[in-house]
Copies of this chain bind each other. A is one copy, B any other.
Amino acid sequence: MSGAERHAAALQCDVGGGHAFTLRVPEGDTHARHVCDDCGYIHYVNPKIVVGSVVTWHGADDGEPRILMCRRAIEPRHGFWTLPAGYMELGETTEAAAMREAREEACADIRIDALLAVYSIPRIGQVQLMYKATLLSPDVMAGEESLEVALVRNNEIPWGDLAFPSVRWALTQHREVAQAGAFVPFTNPAGDMGNMVHGAD
């Protein structure tokens, strides 16, 4: 079995030696944890933070703002359109993470303007922080995780080919505040937990 295959199997205790985890409520705890059957080690699995941005280019010749979008080169949702976003790393701030992702996915140099939204996607254990940002140069280019990148007009947004519900939320909510000065950040549209049944709709 390859290393990857073994990791695809049940979680192994960090101690090594083939200990295995089961999900149960440890004494004194109120929440089910991955507890090692052999040595009692508790493996905490926490939600992950995704940071991204709705980036606008204001310098087009026709004066119409453009939004930076990326077509995914990797799974999940290969070939579908998304906003520059990705997992936050240790040692950075949320704003630095958004800037790094824009740089990595689209070679884009951006300025963070405001927090646009905080989304919770409980089923996959994610919290997404989306920022409203300004593109500082139109010289964008696909990074490794993008098949292509584009600066799209509002009426060119590929609504039918978005990668995830949260991309749709961010683009829709951004429209409401695109011209605004200060605004209160958004969260999930009421009752929507971001689960995908068919596509991102």
Contact = CB atoms under 8 A, between A and B. Distances in A.
Contacts of A104: 30
B47 A123 contact: no
Given A3-B41, A16-B18, A104-B30, A92 B122 contact: yes
Nearest to A184: B182
Interface string A157-185: 00000000000000000000000001111
A36 B122 contact: no
Contacts of A44: 87
Nearest to A1: B15
Nearest to A6: B15
B39 A90 contact: no
Interface stretch (A64-72, A112-120, A134-142, A146-154): A112-120
From DSSP, what is the main secondary structure of chain A's interface residues?
Answer: loop
A187 B95 CA distance: 10
Given A46-B88, A47-B49, A115-B185, A39 B94 contact: no
A185 B188 contact: no
Interface residues of A, number: 53
Nearest to A30: B104
29 contacts: A3-B15, A3-B36, A3-B39, A3-B40, A6-B15, A7-B15, A7-B41, A11-B14, A12-B15, A12-B16, A14-B14, A31-B89, A44-B87, A46-B88, A46-B89, A47-B49, A47-B88, A47-B89, A90-B125, A91-B122, A91-B125, A92-B122, A93-B122, A94-B118, A95-B120, A115-B185, A127-B129, A184-B184, A185-B185
